[in-house]
Structure 1
Amino acid sequence: MTSWLHAPAIAKACTIVGEVAQAHDGSLGAAHAYIDAIAAAGADAVKFQTHIAEAESTAAEPWRKRFSPQDETRLDYWRRMEFTEPQWEGLRRHAAEKGLLFLSSPFSMEAFHLLRRVGVAGWKIASGEITNTELVDAAAATGQPVILSTGMSGLAEVDAVVERVRRSGAPLAVLQCTTMYPTPAEAVGINALPVFRERYGCAVGLSDHSATIYPAVAAAMLDVEMVEVHVALSRDSFGPDVVASVTPAELRQLVDGVRFVERMRSAPVDRSEPLAVAAPLREIFMKSIVAARDLPVGTLLRREDLALKKPGNGLPAAALEAVVGRRLARALARDEQVAHRDLEESA
């Protein structure tokens, strides 16, 4: 199947993105392990975040959540999360070898240029970067797909960035996102998907932080082009996003669920006639009219002379009223099916 990131103009399937973000905790080996796990789960793409500490942060940046005992400041944490350009190239190659599209959100112009050299399948603009017009313009100017996350913005900000991308002609996707970790059901905001579709006339999707598979499967019922979920190798993994992540096993369920929905939606069922697949079962589960007891020839049939029993390959139960009051043309044994030939012609 062709996913939106493969070919936006002819996409036939929802692109399922496994988001690693900072779950690797600065370990290159762990980052590679995530690629293996996300590929094994059947996702289409793996996404990281590319942070170059000195280019995006200062020592004054506050912690969203103070979780790391080994980092004195948030800036120290970003330094520890950095990979070198050759290391990023290795991750991209590994993803390609596993059949995954490679994505990483840049958090500075320096990170953008690094990723431009490494090669990405498209540009995911994180919620906090949606007003970074320099970054948005640079991504759009590449002509590659631009994916906008909307978790921190109202419609006015989203309108403005959509217009900037549209001027470039780059393929565009707008993702509903709620910046809560984890996101409760009441805050997922799946109702925004048709709103975005109508308002922007572009691909839409869901970036979900609920730590469940349910919003993504529900979004697939709305025919979205993309769903993205954070992945943690284990619920016991270290890091701030674990509580908002699914495990690889759950990602496999999510993939299976989305693909099931796609097959279901692509095969509408005509209910004007009984379903062809049910024909063999009608005989098993439906009932026929049978003699309730031994009945001699000439019996004027009353309701108590008849019973409704399986299998359903004789006169159907629905014909019962038409049979009552008819006279038998031949004798019937108990449980013998009543056939049209067994009834005398009506006067």
Structure 2
Amino acid sequence: MVIAEIGTSHEGSIEKAKKLVDAASESGTDYIKFQWVYASEILHPKTGFVDLPTGKIPLYDRFKELECPPSFYKELLDYTHSKGKKFICSPFGLKSLEELLSIQPDAIKIASPELNHYKMLEALRDYRASQKEKIPVILSSGVSKMQDIEKALKITGTENVSLLHCITSYPAPEEEYNLKLITKYKKEFKIECGVSDHSLDPVLVPALSIACGGTIIEKHITLSRKTSGLDDPVALEPEQFGFMCHAVNQSLASINHYGADLGSKRIIEQISEQYGEERVKKVLGSGIKELAPSEKENYGRTNRSLHYMNDLKKGDVIKEGDIAILRTEKILTPGISPEYYDTLIGKTLTCDVSSGSGVMLSHF
């Protein structure tokens, strides 16, 4: 299936969001995806700044601008369904997850930075355990190591769960994609796999992902790369997105006609004629899981860790609200893994700490 990732490209406008749904629908996508944003679930207010065409503003404030009420997403779900497409959305914490589940989406997408948001994964697991037919879940695996993927899948389980290979870099270099990992994941985890593609080319990574056994392709869509959405610079405009869907259909036709092995070989041959054998070889990679060069520096910063939400003194006892599971991002120092959250509630500090700083075991 193809997922058109609108994300927050609507910038809070229901009219623009519907135009994006129209464009995605006409391009030939199957799923249309959004992001349910609350800034406080993602970042600490002191996380740093982002450069925009209008100037430099706090990244936290930029996310605050993208917050929308549940009614906004419910209207988009209904509008997406009216187009004959399925609605999928990413939550970023317990509040957004609960509200998203209340409108009954067709699937839940866990974005790469939330792969280690264990409290959210556990809440989703508990919800699915109460369902007779489990809602589909798609996990994205950018800026992660093999043990991170294994730990997430241990929580969610594998029933009606899919996995997307991803590089958390904007844009992501095609030559770093290592798409043979899709084949490895399918064999190792015995689930459907695909790619979340942040590269700029509309064909190279999507087509080769099918040759590697991928069955899901997610790519950002925007009305224009020149608009100010956070992901617009790496998104495809509608004409490009339609071209990608056409290339995907051609690749699928090859698989269906010739079978998996011969069809994959023919896709690789055709893409090699267009892009060159050496480049295709690099995109396919080794199939060995490791952080891509473009995302190594982001490991621990883009994904989640524990941060203090208040200035606290030596001798203070940690209570709910004093620490949070956040992305570190720009200028703060990462804390320890979110798996320690419950362990630290009720523990006593042995030093003063400042709001925003990363939580360390040595502080206790």
Fold shared, TM-score > 0.5 on shorter chain:
yes
Instruction: Please point out which of 36, 40, 51 is paired with 1:54.
Output: 40
Please say if 1:208 is aligned against 2:194: no
Offset of 1:262 from its aligned partner?
1.4
What is the 5 A alignment of 1:191-340? 191-213=180-202, 214-268=204-258
Amino acid of the structure 2 residue aligned with 1:154: K
- Where structure 1 has 5 or more consecutive residues not aligned to the other structure, the ranges are 1-14, 270-347
Q: Provide the C-alpha distance between the structure 2 equivalents of 1:71 and 1:80, rounded to a whole number of angstroms.
A: 14
Q: Indicate if the aligned counterparts of 2:195 and 2:218 stay in contact, CA closer than 8 A.
A: yes
What is the 5 A alignment of 1:47-196? 47-63=33-49, 65-67=50-52, 69=54, 72-141=57-126, 142=128, 143-166=134-157, 170-196=159-185
Higher relative contact order (CA closer than 8 Å, sequence separation 6+): 2
Divergent runs of 4+, >4 A: none
Offset of 1:249 from its aligned partner?
0.8
Q: Provide the C-alpha distance between the structure 1 equivalents of 2:40 and 2:184, rounded to a whole number of angstroms.
A: 38
Please say if 1:16 is aligned against 2:10: no
Q: Provide the C-alpha distance between the structure 2 equivalents of 1:140 and 1:224, rounded to a whole number of angstroms.
A: 25
Q: Indicate if the aligned counterparts of 1:71 and 1:77 stay in contact, CA closer than 8 A.
A: no
Say if 1:232 and 1:49 are closer, same or farther in 2 by CA, change over 3 A. Answer: same
Q: Indicate if the aligned counterparts of 1:67 and 1:239 stay in contact, CA closer than 8 A.
A: no
SS at match of 1:180: coil
Q: Indicate if the aligned counterparts of 1:22 and 1:239 stay in contact, CA closer than 8 A.
A: yes
Offset of 1:115 from its aligned partner?
0.5
Aligned length: 252
- Where structure 2 has 5 or more consecutive residues not aligned to the other structure, the ranges are 129-133, 260-364
Q: Provide the C-alpha distance between the structure 2 equivalents of 1:122 and 1:22, rounded to a whole number of angstroms.
A: 18
Q: Provide the C-alpha distance between the structure 2 equivalents of 1:37 and 1:227, rounded to a whole number of angstroms.
A: 17
> Over aligned residues, Cα RMSD in angstroms?
1.8
Q: Provide the C-alpha distance between the structure 2 equivalents of 1:101 and 1:139, rounded to a whole number of angstroms.
A: 20
Q: Provide the C-alpha distance between the structure 2 equivalents of 1:144 and 1:58, rounded to a whole number of angstroms.
A: 31
Say if 1:110 and 1:71 are closer, same or farther in 2 by CA, change over 3 A. Answer: farther
SS at match of 1:254: helix
Q: Provide the C-alpha distance between the structure 1 equivalents of 2:64 and 2:174, rounded to a whole number of angstroms.
A: 34
Q: Indicate if the aligned counterparts of 1:41 and 1:249 stay in contact, CA closer than 8 A.
A: yes
Larger C-alpha radius of gyration, 1 or 2? 1
| Identical amino acids, percent of aligned pairs | 23
TM-score, normalisation: structure 2: 0.66
Amino acid of the structure 1 residue aligned with 2:208: A
